[in-house]
A and B are shown apart, each in its own frame.
Chain A
Amino acid sequence: MPTAAQPLHTPILQMRGISKRFGAVQALENVNLEVYAGEVVGLVGDNGAGKSTLIKCISGIYQIDDGQIHFEGKPVTMHGPKDAAQLGIRTVYQDLALCDNLDVVGNLFLGREQTHRYLPRVAEPLDETEMEKRAITILGDLSVTLPSVRALIASLSGGQRQSVAIARAVMWNSKLVILDEPTAALGVAQTRQVLELIKRLRSQGLPVIVISHNLADVFEVADRIVVLRLGRNNGNFERKNTTSEQIVAAITGAEFGVEVAA
């Protein structure tokens, strides 16, 4: 393996020799990716480098053509997003998938509503008190600042929405969270809010993969930066010993800077 120092224990997620082809297009070729507990991995690359394809392979939307995926040390095959969800892999896509017309509690529990259990399933009333209590606890643990858990999503800022989406991704016994461009289209203060939230996830031991075009953001939160270029690995950098010039070089394939290995 390349330059990056490896923690001693086994990785939560280990992908080896992943290949994915769409017709004549080789989207991924022999890609490796490892994620350890309590680690934030920045996944960077130019447009078309294969970041999104790789993420969709992890979250079960695409099936890989070649290679192996190990999750918590065990080999896994994913046939759909449900398999990934079952393993505890949650992805927050750029569109966030929140319902603007529901409040924060409604969105956190969407599809997993808690109910009173004294009536037949179809007529079970929602247990709003319990859901609100849990929502306050979860958002409090993550130090997410909101006007109220009963505020409609439509009334929240972009950063607050992103925070709600991330909170929903981590609250259901998640083991790995993937964030697709979490700071795109956010202002300075809101970006800060989301980056702080990512750091908090790490401090709780939850591994996070962050895809971003913004190297400053990646440098702030990531422990390790994995570069993809034209569907192949093009570097695996320990953030502490790396400059952004090196990353830019790896992304663009320029020759200056430190030699990188796949």
Chain B
Amino acid sequence: MSTIINEPRVLPEHSTGFWRDLRRRISITDLGALPVILGLIVIAIVFQIANPNFLSPLNLTNLMLQIAAVGTISVGVVLVLLLGEVDLSVGVVSGLSAAVMAVLNVKSGVPGPIAVVCGLGVGCLIGLIQGTWIAKFRVPSFIVTLAGLLGWQGALLYVLGNTGTVNLRDPFILGIAGTFFPALIGWGIAILFAVLYALFALLERRRRLSAGLAASSRNAIIFRIVLVAVVLFGAMAVLNANRGLPSALVFFIGAILVFDWITRRTVFGRHIYAVGGNAEAARRASINVDGVRIAVFGLASMLAAFGGILAASRLLAVNQSSGSGDLLLNAIAAAVIGGTSLFGGRGTVWSALLGALVIGSISNGMDLLALASPIKFMITGAVLLFAVTVDALARRRREAAGR
């Protein structure tokens, strides 16, 4: 009966050579991250030439400490952007949550761990309230979180009362961002993750092959494993040359790993992408669209709270300007520079790390060069514009090529 098509053509593409496989991967999936990584390398070279201290272990460790808080907040921003929404309250929520933790601990004598959990809970609750408002009343997230930006700023001032600044002394809270792991533990963690990564990659390949599906060639997987190992061990060598692996970085990367797994490997994550891509299609596929929205706003605010607690722990205090300034804009800019689309459905949690590295490096490098604030702001703005433009052009080319 069929004259044109009479046999199934959806055949597994058999793995081809290493280079072809690599080229295919780069042209389809990895192009998103490639321009940012190249940009990072350019930034590193420029600042290293301008100031030889830029790539020193001391400065790189400082850089990691500087980006951990904003990067963690940015992980939540990525989640919200994946929905095609925006959350303008994350900066203030990070400050408010840290203030709740600090006041409970310092003024009310609540033990550190419980105060931290309360701070996270406040963040999560705020997100759930805002998410419910957005999902149920159909008020644009821009407006709801803009109102939140103002309202929670008021709550922050109220919580701090007339003290203004609360200094932290609790060893648990200060330890959150202030711990450095000894070299041996750092190496152990690096080896553990390299082995786990290799194991997962090889197991996945075996599962796919035994199911008769196409899989990356063995060489491509080995290349990826080596790449991951080199990055892991290189980073650990640099960190160990200074004070060791900082706990703030562990929490930041941990948040990325957890949410990368949630977004790419679980039903909930798939539904986040579906709602961001086509909410009506998701609804017709009987996905609980409102539930996904509310949960994502809750998680994003909780990550913001965590970022705020990391910042408070590093700066040893919470004050009236905690969570204000350019924190919010940097968190959103990091997600976007890292390659997450503002229009929903496209991007990964890793863009929080890449974007935070770009913004953090520029800011750190310009501090090393002792540039004045006006110039710093203008350069950061130009980089944001440049990064998003490169991404937009690359995406257009990719779509034109039918990928």
Q: Does B14 contact A (CB under 8 A)?
A: no
Contact: A133 with B282, CB < 8 Å?
no
Contacts A99-B278, A110-B285 hold; do A146 and B1 have CB atoms under 8 A apart? no
| A-B pairs with beta carbons under 8 A, tally | 121
Residues of A within 8 A of B212 (CB): 133
- Nearest-Cβ distance from residue A158 to partner chain B, whole angstroms: 13
Contact: A133 with B286, CB < 8 Å?
no
Chain B residue at smallest Cβ distance from A189: B4
Chain A residue at smallest Cβ distance from B286: A111
Contact: A124 with B266, CB < 8 Å?
yes
Chain B residue at smallest Cβ distance from A115: B267
Contacts A123-B266, A155-B402 hold; do A97 and B284 have CB atoms under 8 A apart? yes
- Nearest-Cβ distance from residue A88 to partner chain B, whole angstroms: 15
Q: Of the listed stretches A12-20, A192-200, A242-250, name the one at the interface; the rest are far from the partner chain.
A: A192-200
Q: How far apart sit A192 and B7, CA to CA, in the bound complex (Å)?
A: 16
Contact of B213 among A81, A102, A132, A139 (CB under 8 A): A132
Contact: A155 with B399, CB < 8 Å?
yes
Contact of A203 among B1, B8, B266, B274 (CB under 8 A): B1
Chain A residue at smallest Cβ distance from B343: A101
Q: Does B136 contact A (CB under 8 A)?
A: no
Q: Mark A83-103, 1 if CB is under 8 A from B, else 0.
A: 000000000000111111110
Contact: A192 with B4, CB < 8 Å?
yes
Contact: A143 with B2, CB < 8 Å?
yes
Contact: A101 with B267, CB < 8 Å?
no
Contact: B4 with A196, CB < 8 Å?
yes
Q: How far apart sit A146 and B12, CA to CA, in the bound complex (Å)?
A: 11
Contact: A97 with B4, CB < 8 Å?
no
Q: How far apart sit A140 and B270, CA to CA, in the bound complex (Å)?
A: 24
Q: How far apart sit A133 and B270, CA to CA, in the bound complex (Å)?
A: 18
Contact: A143 with B7, CB < 8 Å?
yes
Contact: B403 with A129, CB < 8 Å?
no
Q: Which 3 A/B pairs are nearest by Cβ-Cβ distance?
A: A140-B8, A111-B285, A101-B345
Contact: A129 with B277, CB < 8 Å?
no
Contact: A102 with B273, CB < 8 Å?
yes
Q: How far apart sit A129 and B286, CA to CA, in the bound complex (Å)?
A: 23
Residues of A within 8 A of B285 (CB): 97, 110-112
Contact: B9 with A122, CB < 8 Å?
no
Contact: A129 with B208, CB < 8 Å?
yes
Q: Does A33 contact B (CB under 8 A)?
A: no
Q: Does B38 contact A (CB under 8 A)?
A: no
Q: Does A141 contact B (CB under 8 A)?
A: yes
Contact: A124 with B267, CB < 8 Å?
yes
Q: How far apart sit A192 and B267, CA to CA, in the bound complex (Å)?
A: 35
| 4 further contact pairs, Cβ within 8 A, besides A99-B274, A102-B270, A123-B262 | A95-B280, A101-B344, A155-B402, A196-B5
Contact of A130 among B1, B211, B265 (CB under 8 A): B211
Q: Does A125 contact B (CB under 8 A)?
A: yes
Q: Does A185 contact B (CB under 8 A)?
A: no
Q: Does B268 contact A (CB under 8 A)?
A: yes
Contact of B5 among A82, A143, A148 (CB under 8 A): A143
Contact: A97 with B268, CB < 8 Å?
no
Residues of A within 8 A of B280 (CB): 95, 97
Contact: A199 with B1, CB < 8 Å?
yes
- Nearest-Cβ distance from residue B386 to partner chain A, whole angstroms: 24
Contacts A101-B345, A196-B2 hold; do A106 and B8 have CB atoms under 8 A apart? no
Q: Does A126 contact B (CB under 8 A)?
A: yes
Q: Mark B256-292, 1 if CB is under 8 A from A, else 0.
A: 0000011001111010011011101110111100000
- Nearest-Cβ distance from residue A213 to partner chain B, whole angstroms: 23
Q: Does B13 contact A (CB under 8 A)?
A: yes
Contacts A126-B270, A129-B213, A132-B213 hold; do A100 and B4 have CB atoms under 8 A apart? no
- Nearest-Cβ distance from residue B246 to partner chain A, whole angstroms: 28
Q: Does B346 contact A (CB under 8 A)?
A: yes
Residues of B within 8 A of A99 (CB): 273-274, 277-278, 281-282, 345
Contact: A145 with B211, CB < 8 Å?
no
6 A-B residue contacts at CB 8 Å? Answer: A98-B278, A126-B265, A129-B208, A143-B9, A154-B399, A203-B1
Contact: A106 with B346, CB < 8 Å?
no
Residues of B within 8 A of A101 (CB): 273, 276-278, 344-346
